[in-house]
């Protein structure tokens, strides 16, 4: 008589479990025999972990206050913690606002001819859009607004050290 495949699998699995149990019992018996030959068991002390000072997170090279001082900004209506250049038609670049030491990320936009420029700053961040004509539109954001705006753009803030400094 031919045994169904499912029944064969069940038998093989049961045999495998029995073999595992025997192997574990043998290891346990062997380990207890070795332990009884050694010195009597002494209470184990808590492992000593060397106390290390908490390392401060690496500060970002540029702060929101520094970028704010490099240009004239005005609050965006209806958005507390977000600012736009007072002269939005000016041709100032991200690098002119943040300096060369800032960590600039160039990301694709939902608009195929635009790029999103993200610069994390101490206390927030700069988000700019580079249009196809090369013109850049900048928004300076506090920490909470920077996080919120990145998420609304589909960008995860942890990737850009937001709130990690």
The more confident residue out of 88 and 129 is 129
The pLDDT tens digits of the residues spanning 6-36 come to 565 665 566 667 766 777 776 666 565 555 5
Order of strands, edge to edge, in the sheet holding 136-142?
A: 73-75, 82-85, 136-142, 124-130, 115-121, 105-108
So what's the pLDDT on residue 158? 67
Q: For 76-128, what is each residue's pLDDT tens digit? A: 988 889 999 988 767 899 999 998 888 888 888 888 899 999 999 999 999 99
Q: Are 155 and 118 in contact (CB under 8 A)?
A: yes
156/94: higher pLDDT: 94
Angle, CA 120 vertex, CA 117 and CA 122 arms, to 5°: 150
Helix (H, G, I), strand (E, B) or coil at 93: coil
Q: What is the pLDDT of residue 83?
A: 95
């Amino acid at each position: 008589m031919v045994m169904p495949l499912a029944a064969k699998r069940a038998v093989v699995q049961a045999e495998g479990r029995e073999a595992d149990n025997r192997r574990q019992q043998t290891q346990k018996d062997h380990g207890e025999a070795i332990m009884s030959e050694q010195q009597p068991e002494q209470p184990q002390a808590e492992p000593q972990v060397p106390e290390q000072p908490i390392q401060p997170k690496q500060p970002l090279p540029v702060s929101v206050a520094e970028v704010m001082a490099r240009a004239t900004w005005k609050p965006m209506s209806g958005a507390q913690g977000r600012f736009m250049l007072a002269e939005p038609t000016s041709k100032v670049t991200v690098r002119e606002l943040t300096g060369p030491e800032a960590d600039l990320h160039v990301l694709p936009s939902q608009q195929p001819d635009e790029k999103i420029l993200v610069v994390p700053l101490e206390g927030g961040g700069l988000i700019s859009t580079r249009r196809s004509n090369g013109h850049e539109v900048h928004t300076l954001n506090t920490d909470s607004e920077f996080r919120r705006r990145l998420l609304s753009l589909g960008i995860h803030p942890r990737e850009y050290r937001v709130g990690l400094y």
